[in-house]
């Protein structure tokens, strides 16, 4: 916003200086001529206070603008006719005209009127002689040219600043929109991650609890108390594991055993499925220490999902799990002798699709070889380091 107080000080100060110097320099003039000089300066200052000052700001110009231009033109023309030094009033008239007019065209026309008045004033002071016209033309012409050039330059700077402000506002708005989209996308990714986590941890564990509990009930009804007690002990152990998984999810950590040794965690996972499903599962794991934790987490999740599918769908008697690192990759194979399925047939479950998405996020590949009645072979290949890929399970 334009500071009117600053303009007040500038106009009043310039008016006083011009009036003082006009009287001192033109001391040969009659008292009446000096009074006209002072009156001309006062008229310009008064026109500013009554008219132009109200137009300074961001509101559209009103009737005061043309009245102000006419008033100061008459005042400066009369003043110059008795004292040529009053042409210095141009230094405050032109900036005011450019400040209060609506556009460049109005500012140029508004500046031309005071310049014409000064030209006539010079000519009148010299009794409209050729010399008077020449002096007026030089003074008014050069002043008007300077005012127009300088005004257009300042106006272009102001327009550029306004355009930059508009672009900055648009950029800020666009950034806000991008941030909102990023937050929405992050929330969606987090929901997907949590869905995978719940499916791969709590859902799998609870499904195992249901099977073990059903088996314990059947054993109890058959009079196999010892076997039922052993199954109940397994239920307790699996329930404690589910509790640990839930706590890990709440803490936003990987819901896997905390031990650094991948082989120990894998052995415990396989042993749980042996107890839950009564499967014979062969395990062969030879993983290098260079395989980072992200790849280990993905491998454990894939083993968990694959064995869960064997338990629920394959009706298999035997399965094997093989994990090995080779040439910058880690390879997982899970093979069963169950009834198989058609990998290309539509699926309603979330397990295999979630596994494929998890593997893809880690930069790996999933291959499933299966046919109805012929068992299933699942192969997962992952890079041994996540340095070239985003973290699979962000904190």
Please state, in angstroms and rounded to a whole number, the distance separating the CA atoms of residues 329 and 290: 10
Whether the CB-CB separation of 295 and 388 falls below 8 Å is answered with no
pLDDT tens sequence across 95-149: 888 888 888 888 898 899 999 999 998 899 888 888 889 988 998 888 889 888 8
Find how far residue 218's CA is from the centre of its chain. 60
Whether the CB-CB separation of 310 and 336 falls below 8 Å is answered with yes
Q: How far is CA 120 from CA 34, 76, 113, in A?
A: 19, 10, 11
DSSP string of 134-145? HHHHHHHHHHHH
Which top CATH class is 262-395? Answer: alpha beta
In 3D space, the residue among 299, 228, 289 whose CA is nearest the CA of residue 260 turns out to be: 289
Positions of the chain with pLDDT under 50: 1, 251-260, 386-395
Please state, in angstroms and rounded to a whole number, the distance separating the CA atoms of residues 256 and 61: 73
Strand partners, 377: 335, 369
Q: Does the model's pTM come out above 0.85?
A: no
143-146: long-range contacts (C-beta < 8 A, 24 or more apart)?
143/87, 143/90, 143/94, 143/115, 143/118, 144/111, 144/112, 144/115
Across 274-317, where does the E strand assignment appear?
280-286
Structure tokens belonging to residue 44: 């310009």
Residue that has been written with the tokens 């198989």 in this structure: 340
Please state, in angstroms and rounded to a whole number, the distance separating the CA atoms of residues 113 and 354: 80
Whether the CB-CB separation of 85 and 47 falls below 8 Å is answered with no
How high is the pLDDT of residue 245? 67
Please state, in angstroms and rounded to a whole number, the distance separating the CA atoms of residues 121 and 387: 83
Q: Where are the domains of the chain?
A: 4-128, 262-395
Residue that has been written with the tokens 């009369």 in this structure: 78
Cβ neighbours, 10 Å, residue 280: 12
CA 203, 207, 208, 210 torsion-angle sign:
positive
Question: 256-272 b/e with 16+ CB inside 10 Å = b?
Answer: bbeeeebeebbeebbeb
Angle between helices 64-82 and 104-125 (to 10 degrees): 20
Structure tokens belonging to residue 150: 């300088």
Please state, in angstroms and rounded to a whole number, the distance separating the CA atoms of residues 374 and 186: 41
How high is the pLDDT of residue 234? 81
In 3D space, the residue among 282, 296, 382, 383 whose CA is nearest the CA of residue 334 turns out to be: 282
Please state, in angstroms and rounded to a whole number, the distance separating the CA atoms of residues 363 and 386: 8
């Amino acid at each position: 916003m334009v500071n009117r107080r600053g303009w007040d000080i500038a106009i009043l100060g310039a008016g006083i200086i011009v009036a003082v110097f006009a009287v001192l320099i033109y001391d040969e003039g009659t008292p009446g001529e000096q009074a006209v000089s002072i009156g001309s300066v006062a008229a310009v200052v008064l026109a500013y206070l009554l008219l132009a000052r109200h137009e300074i700001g961001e509101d559209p110009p009103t009737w005061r603008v043309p009245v102000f231009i006419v008033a100061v033109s008459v005042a400066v023309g009369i003043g110059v006719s008795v004292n040529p030094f009053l042409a210095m009033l141009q230094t405050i008239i032109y900036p005011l005209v450019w400040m209060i007019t609506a556009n460049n065209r109005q500012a140029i026309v508004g500046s031309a009127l005071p310049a014409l008045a000064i030209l006539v004033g010079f000519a009148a002071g010299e009794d409209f002689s050729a010399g008077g016209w020449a002096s007026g033309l030089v003074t008014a012409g050069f002043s008007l040219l300077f005012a127009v050039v300088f005004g257009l330059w300042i106006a272009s700077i102001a327009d550029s600043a306004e355009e930059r402000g508009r672009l900055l506002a648009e950029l800020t708005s666009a950034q806000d929109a991008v941030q909102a989209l990023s937050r929405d996308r992050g929330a969606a990714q987090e929901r997907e991650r949590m869905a995978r986590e719940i499916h791969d941890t709590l859902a799998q564990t609870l499904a195992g609890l249901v099977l073990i509990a059903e088996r314990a009930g059947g054993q109890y009804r058959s009079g196999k108390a010892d076997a039922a007690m052993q199954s109940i002990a397994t239920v307790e152990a699996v329930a404690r594991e589910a509790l640990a998984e839930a706590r890990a999810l709440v803490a936003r950590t990987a819901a896997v055993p905390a031990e650094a040794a991948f082989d120990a965690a894998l052995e415990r996972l396989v042993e749980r499925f042996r107890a839950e499903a009564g499967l014979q599962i062969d395990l062969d794991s030879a993983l290098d220490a260079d395989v980072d934790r992200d790849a280990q987490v993905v491998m454990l999740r894939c083993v968990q999902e694959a064995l869960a599918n064997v338990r629920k769908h394959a009706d298999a008697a035997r399965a094997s799990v093989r994990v090995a690192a080779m040439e910058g990759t880690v390879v997982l194979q899970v093979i069963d002798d169950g009834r198989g399925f058609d990998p290309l047939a539509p699926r309603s479950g979330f397990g295999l699709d979630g596994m494929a998405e998890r593997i893809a996020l880690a930069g790996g590949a999933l291959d499933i070889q299966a046919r109805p009645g012929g068992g299933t072979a699942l192969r997962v290949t992952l890079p041994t380091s996540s340095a070239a890929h985003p973290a699979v399970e962000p904190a």
